[in-house]
Amino acid sequence: MKRILIAALSLSAMAALPSTARAELKIGYVDLQRALEETDEGKRAKAKLKSDFEKKQKDLDARQEELKRMKNDLDKQSSVLKPEALQQKQQELQQKLVQLQETYMRLQKELQEREATETGRIFKKMTAIIAQIAQKEGVTYVLEKNTGILYAPPSEDLTNELIRKYNASAQ
């Protein structure tokens, strides 16, 4: 909401400029999410994160299956175990469940942090390239497509140029 308000205020301020100043004003936009998904480095980062996630998910799934087996075994033994032994085994099972949940939360947080770090690093490089494109094309402002632009002509979309230059700079 705040971004939409800022964009609206910026556009209304531009409309108030004298016509000679507006003639010199050129606005472009980029779709950073699309650029992230379509650059070679973005694809590699996404694939690496996905691979890491799948490995960790496989480990979590195995631990969850182990807990299910333990629960089934406990259910089968519950009629023959003494109440104290049953209670102890139930507590052990509960502790393992809590540990699994904590591990899941920790891994989830780690993956989110790694994703934020990777995307932040790539976006930082993209910002420098966007500045180069804007200077070359005579663009005064470059907006992010997904943060409040309701309409813009496709001719002002700099995303393809950003992807092309980003991939070229990474080689």
Q: What is the distance between the alpha carbons of residues 13 and 151, in angstroms, rounded to a whole number?
A: 18
pLDDT per residue over 123-133, tens digit each? 999 999 999 99
pLDDT per residue over 27-82, tens digit each? 999 999 999 999 999 999 999 999 999 999 999 999 999 999 989 988 888 888 88
Question: What pLDDT, on the 0 to 100 scale, is given for residue 79?
Answer: 84
- Which one is predicted more confidently, 1 or 37? 37
Distances (CA, A) of 150 to 32, 35, 60, 141: 16, 19, 42, 16
Q: Does residue 114 carry a pLDDT above 90?
A: yes
Distances (CA, A) of 27 to 17, 65, 82, 88: 14, 55, 77, 68
The domain defined by 2-7+14-169 carries CATH number 3.30.910.20: yes
Contacts of 37 (CB under 8 A, 6+ apart): 43, 46
In the structure encoding, which two tokens stand for residue 159, read together? 């995303």
Q: Does residue 156 carry a pLDDT above 90?
A: yes
Contacts of 169 (CB under 8 A, 6+ apart): 125, 129
Distances (CA, A) of 132 to 3, 136, 142: 24, 6, 11
Domain spans of the chain, in order of start: 2-7+14-169
Question: What pLDDT, on the 0 to 100 scale, is given for residue 2?
Answer: 45
| Confidence at 165, pLDDT banded by 50, 70, 90 | very high
In the structure encoding, which two tokens stand for residue 85, read together? 């032994």
Q: What is the distance between the alpha carbons of residues 117 and 109, in angstroms, rounded to a whole number?
A: 12
Distance of CA 142 to the CA centre of its chain: 22
- Mean pLDDT of the region 5-21: 48
Q: Can you give the pTM of this predicted structure?
A: 0.70
| Confidence at 18, pLDDT banded by 50, 70, 90 | low
Q: What is the distance between the alpha carbons of residues 59 and 167, in angstroms, rounded to a whole number?
A: 35
Question: What pLDDT, on the 0 to 100 scale, is given for residue 22?
Answer: 52
Question: What pLDDT, on the 0 to 100 scale, is given for residue 15?
Answer: 55
Q: Does residue 1 carry a pLDDT above 90?
A: no
